[in-house]
Structure 1
């Protein structure tokens, strides 16, 4: 029942809960009364609906404190860098930027601009594009309402919402996001978003390499490794990998 409530966009009537969860009405009301008493569910009597309570939030917060994203993703990211011999990254969205939370540098590879804690415009990075492609169009539009939202680093990348939408359509079609020299000239990246159980992008796995280092066959193999790593991180988080 708690899992069902967590997947709804707002509070739900008891009858709907009973129907969707597949429980008798009497059992549903009994369980709801117990969960309300313990603070896991809140009852809104004016609306006749039930939603998650403060205790559910505290439970989720405890999980975040004990098993942070970096700890979950560190081992898969390290394995990815070891296998492909290129730097691997994990980034999260923050507004219309991405913030890098893990960088695993492969032996002999240079330090890149995407170090831990660095913020970059999401629409210029492969990591950001993979996560933007997993968001509803209305949310992307809200993040990029006008031309002032589109900054560039080296005169490359989308500068209008129309260009960005076309780029995200291509990202969904390919099943991965790419960027070529838009963050750092001479370097390219591929990325795949990690989705939670509600199909929301919680992070992105990316690999960065010299633009002339891979041929098409090698790039395809690398993209598959990135996809598998994103899938593993998603599995550890209880979600899945997109796109």
Structure 2
């Protein structure tokens, strides 16, 4: 038995919420996690205060908050994921001839944690340690398209959440949802000129054992070059990494 019952209960709730495709009602949290309803209520409200849970009042449901994704991104930024991805990313760059990178979600930004430059290609802005707005990048859109709609809404509650870089890209939740819906239908996300003029990218999500996106794999190429072959290679690489993570 845990010597810190409250911590064990909180982690049990987090693990349960992370396994669900959509936010859930309090009664279901209490029942599944074997908690008294009053205990579950106070527990999730404390977790809301800390940013690990969000309460969707209109639906009377609870889902993971931004802080939970930051913890997940923290794991993804550590060496295990980079070590797993290094060789597949290098192989992807060799296959496509384009620069490739691995990015993770950090709040509303993506953080680039691994980059592989293609010989003869100019350097990109997506160097290791660089952060860019998720909604403007292919990598960010690839991660967002794999998140539940409620989590995307929590990340982008109003227009002020949509940072601007070049005067392009979505500026509202409805516009972002349209982009993400198109990306899901294709199976990969795209970006053309929203980050750097004359450059486009394609990206696909890397999923963990719960089906949640922990990272995205992408390649960047000059605007106008056909992305189809690159998209197939990116999806194959992301799928391989997902399987390594149990996804």
Please say if 1:172 is aligned against 2:184.
yes
Structure 1 residue 68 displacement after superposition: 1.6
Distance 1:70 1:167, change over 3 A: same
Alpha-carbon distance in 2 for matches of 1:65, 1:106: 22
Check whether the contact 2:113–2:129 (CA below 8 A) recurs between aligned residues: yes
Please say if 1:238 is aligned against 2:224.
no
**Aligned counterpart for 2:174 among listed residues 155, 159, 162:** 162
Please say if 1:227 is aligned against 2:235.
yes
**Aligned counterpart for 2:162 among listed residues 150, 154, 179:** 150
**Aligned counterpart for 2:81 among listed residues 69, 81, 86:** 69
Check whether the contact 1:191–1:204 (CA below 8 A) recurs between aligned residues: yes
Distance 1:183 1:65, change over 3 A: closer
Distance 1:46 1:76, change over 3 A: same
Check whether the contact 1:177–1:191 (CA below 8 A) recurs between aligned residues: yes
Alpha-carbon distance in 2 for matches of 1:147, 1:66: 32
Distance 1:48 1:166, change over 3 A: closer
Unaligned runs of 5+ in 2: 1-11, 18-27, 41-74
Check whether the contact 2:190–2:202 (CA below 8 A) recurs between aligned residues: yes
Instruction: Tell me the TM-score normalized by structure 1.
Output: 0.72
How many residue pairs are counted as aligned between the two chains?
192
Aligned-CA RMSD value = 2.8
Structure 1 residue 8 displacement after superposition: 2.9
Q: Secondary structure at the match of 1:128?
A: helix
**Aligned counterpart for 2:112 among listed residues 100, 104, 110:** 100
Structure 1 residue 126 displacement after superposition: 0.2
Alpha-carbon distance in 2 for matches of 1:45, 1:207: 49
Distance 1:227 1:66, change over 3 A: closer
